[in-house]
């Protein structure tokens, strides 16, 4: 039920402006590839493992192959055709054999002539389609498990973080969290992994403030949560991070190991990790196509803007980013039910009427995106170390989530900004959520902001400011807006940032069967 009486014409204008602002960036993304997209493509084709003999440490075979293809003949035509042409030319049986021969200096990659090009492209498509079918089977398995075991009985779903650095210890904490009431387990990534231009191999036990995102770690957590799902009688979802320099690869690995949610924002890596904007937009388009195919809910990162910019003055930038994220997601084939747009409870609690303002912002997001599984983020910026005050503030956050119909509630920790939360802290935090859901779970049906009251007026003000900003972005260009510090006060020029050298403009004869299959899947 709409409570804000938003003007449909203003809402339509906002979406049209967001589409207009995003379209030049979509065109750029379509015209370019990256080393990460090409690696993700070969991962779908079946390449796994790493060169364990390298003196500087293990190097994934997929990195070895793509880097060598680029050195020999460039990536302007894609990596798949040169790779599968070489596989046939050298009469090798597997991509692993090809990778080993590449490392030994025995392979010279080339872009073949028309006849051999067509043959190699067909072979690549066959192998990549096999990977796509694995992703499709995982989606079907999830649907069957949800139908058999059941979803959590109420929304919002409770989202809890584990971050030990050791995948085996993560499993222990995740299982206990699910037994205590968590519906979604998010495995926080090791600090700095988003800036690695490769995905580590195998199970890991040495992450920093988080655990490395690897295919084996995904498999271990998903298998453990399948067992716990049967025990607790509801399907426990698993989340990780498809972001950073390996965004497309991690999206593929998430699809291959049946992850259910992945952090995937169109601008987060640009703003907060200083990753090149073009690299990010190219990578996020491919990764979102993979998420759409896999049925993975994405979580966007608008909440982070309010940790660097003021949550009152910059509230409209969150709405603008949500509208842009929505357009980028739809263009890549993601439907609303997989679009977990982010927003946060980050207004300074000393601001008069801060709670009413938080309700206005949260309700605006809910009514602008009625079919999206919104992810509501807890207070962090103004957590002072006073755990009693923090616990109360988290309670207000939980209540705002209930009143405004949020879909996913990330559990706030009263020890935020003090320590990495202990298990006891997490248990108390979940108790806070459970108390609010039990005591006020149906309160939304009684919540009716006054038509001319503070909440409604504030929501209209933020939407109006968002439209004004979108008009300026359309005039100036989204890449220029990002360079000027429009979002989160971070200034990120389009020709700067990490990973810039991994962007490649496509040649006229560029071929990527993975992109073709994903495009075809989006039309079904």
**pLDDT, tens digit, 9 for 90 and up, residues 273-293:** 999 999 999 999 999 999 999
The pLDDT score that the predictor gives to residue 256 is 98
Q: Which of 170, 198, 235, 375 is catalytic?
A: 375
pLDDT for the residue 417: 78
At residue 209, the 3 state secondary structure works out as coil
Task: pLDDT band for 207, please (50, 70, 90 cuts).
Answer: very high
pLDDT at 523: 44
Query: What does DSSP say about strands 339-340 and 157-162: parallel, antiparallel, or unpaired?
Result: unpaired
Axis crossing angle, helix 454-476 with helix 315-331, rounded to the nearest 10:
60
Maximum mean pLDDT: which of 260-269, 409-418, 424-433, 467-476: 467-476
* Residue 222 · residue 137 · CB < 8 Å: no
> Is the per-residue pLDDT at 270 higher than 50?
yes
Dihedral sign, Cα of residue 500, residue 240, residue 400, residue 395:
negative
Which of these is catalytic: 268, 283, 305, 498?
268
Percent share of the chain, pLDDT over 70: 98
Residue 375 is among the residues annotated as catalytic for this protein: yes
pLDDT band at 309 (very low <50, low <70, confident <90, very high): confident
Q: Please determine, for residue 56, whether its predicted confidence score (pLDDT) is greater than 80.
A: no
With respect to residue 114, please indicate whether it lies within any of the assigned structural domains: yes
In this prediction, residue 488 carries a pLDDT of 81
Q: State the sign of the Cα–Cα–Cα–Cα dihedral 148, 297, 232, 258.
A: positive
Rounded to the nearest integer, the mean pLDDT of the chain is: 95
Nearest to 296 by CA among 174, 119, 138, 447: 138
pLDDT tens readout for residues 258-269: 999 999 988 989
Is position 76 within any domain? yes
Is residue 385 situated within a structural domain? no
- Determine whether 435 is an active site residue: no
Percentage, residues of the chain above pLDDT 90? 90
Catalytic residue among 170, 183, 260, 303: 303
Report the distance separating Cα 197 and Cα 275, nearest Å.
Answer: 11
Domain count, the chain: 1
Distance (Å, rounded) from C-alpha 148 to C-alpha 230? 9
- Quick: pLDDT tens for 468-518: 999 999 999 999 999 999 888 889 999 999 999 999 999 999 999 999 999
Give residue 416's pLDDT band: very low, low, confident or very high (50, 70, 90).
confident
61 falls within a domain: yes
Q: Which two tokens stand for residue 506?
A: 């496509």
Residue 505: count other Cβ atoms within 10 Å of its Cβ: 12
Neighbours of 274 (CB within 10 A): 14
- In this prediction, residue 55 carries a pLDDT of 65
Domain for residue 252, yes or no?
Answer: no
With beta carbons less than 8 A apart as the criterion, state whether 218 and 253 touch.
yes
The mean-pLDDT minimum among 95-99, 162-166, 333-337, 423-427 falls in 423-427
The answer, yes or no, to whether the previous bond of 156 is cis (omega within 30 of 0) is yes
Q: Are 433 and 376 in contact (CB under 8 A)?
A: no
106 assigned to some structural domain: yes
Q: What number of CA atoms fall less than 13 Å from residue 342's CA on the CB side? A: 24
Exposed, middle or buried: residue 446 (CB in 10 Å: 0-12, 13-18, 19+)? Answer: exposed
pLDDT of 197 above 50: yes
Q: Is 151 a catalytic residue?
A: no
Question: Structural domain of residue 80, as residue ranges?
Answer: 32-128
Domain annotation covers residue 156: no
- Report if residue 14 sits inside a domain: no
The reported pLDDT for the residue numbered 524 is 40
């Amino acid at each position: 039920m709409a409570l804000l009486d938003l003007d449909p014409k203003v809402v339509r204008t906002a979406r049209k402006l967001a589409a207009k602002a995003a379209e030049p960036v979509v065109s750029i993304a379509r015209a370019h590839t990256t080393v990460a997209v090409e690696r993700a493509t070969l991962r779908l084709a079946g390449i796994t493992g790493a060169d364990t003999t390298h003196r500087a440490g293990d190097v994934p075979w997929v990195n070895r192959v793509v880097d060598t293809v680029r050195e020999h003949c460039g990536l302007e035509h894609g990596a798949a055709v040169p790779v599968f042409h070489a596989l046939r030319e050298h009469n090798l049986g597997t991509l692993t054999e090809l990778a080993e021969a590449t490392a030994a200096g025995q392979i010279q990659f080339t872009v073949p002539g028309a006849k051999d090009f067509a043959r190699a492209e067909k072979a690549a498509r066959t192998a990549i389609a096999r990977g796509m079918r694995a992703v499709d089977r995982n989606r079907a398995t999830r649907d069957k498990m949800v139908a058999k075991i059941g979803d959590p009985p109420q929304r919002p779903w409770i989202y809890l973080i584990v971050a030990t650095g050791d995948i085996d210890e993560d499993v222990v904490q995740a299982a206990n969290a699910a037994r205590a009431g968590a519906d979604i387990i998010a495995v926080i990534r090791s600090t700095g992994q988003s800036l690695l231009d490769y995905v580590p191999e195998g199970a890991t036990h040495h992450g920093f403030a988080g655990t490395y995102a690897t295919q084996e770690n995904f498999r271990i957590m998903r298998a453990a949560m399948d067992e716990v799902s049967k025990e607790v009688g509801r399907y426990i979802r698993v989340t990780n991070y498809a972001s950073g320099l390996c965004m497309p690869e991690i999206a593929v690995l998430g699809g291959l190991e049946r992850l259910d949610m992945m952090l995937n924002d169109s601008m987060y890596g640009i703003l907060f990790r200083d990753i090149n904007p073009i690299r990010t937009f190219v990578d996020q388009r491919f990764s979102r196509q993979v998420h759409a195919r896999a049925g993975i809910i994405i979580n966007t990162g608008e909440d982070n803007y309010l940790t660097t910019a003021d949550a009152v003055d910059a509230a409209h930038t969150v709405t603008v980013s949500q509208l842009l994220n929505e357009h980028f997601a739809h263009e890549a084939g993601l439907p609303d039910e997989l679009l977990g747009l982010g927003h946060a409870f980050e207004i300074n609690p000393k601001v008069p009427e801060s709670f009413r303002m938080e309700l206005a912002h949260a309700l605006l997001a809910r009514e602008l995106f009625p079919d999206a599984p919104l992810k509501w983020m807890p207070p962090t910026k103004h957590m002072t170390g006073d755990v009693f005050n923090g616990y109360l503030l988290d309670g207000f956050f939980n209540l705002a989530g209930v009143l405004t119909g949020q879909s996913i509630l990330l559990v706030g920790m009263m020890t935020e900004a003090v320590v990495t939360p202990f298990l006891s802290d997490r248990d108390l935090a979940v108790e806070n959520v459970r108390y609010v859901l039990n005591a006020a779970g149906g309160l939304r049906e009684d919540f009716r902001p006054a038509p001319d009251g503070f909440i409604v007026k504030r929501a209209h003000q933020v939407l109006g400011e968002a439209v004004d900003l979108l008009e300026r972005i359309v005039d100036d260009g989204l890449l220029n807006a990002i360079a000027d510090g429009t979002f989160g006060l971070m200034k990120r020029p389009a020709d700067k940032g990490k990973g810039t050298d991994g962007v490649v403009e496509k040649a006229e004869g560029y071929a990527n069967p993975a992109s073709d299959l994903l495009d075809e899947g989006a039309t079904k």
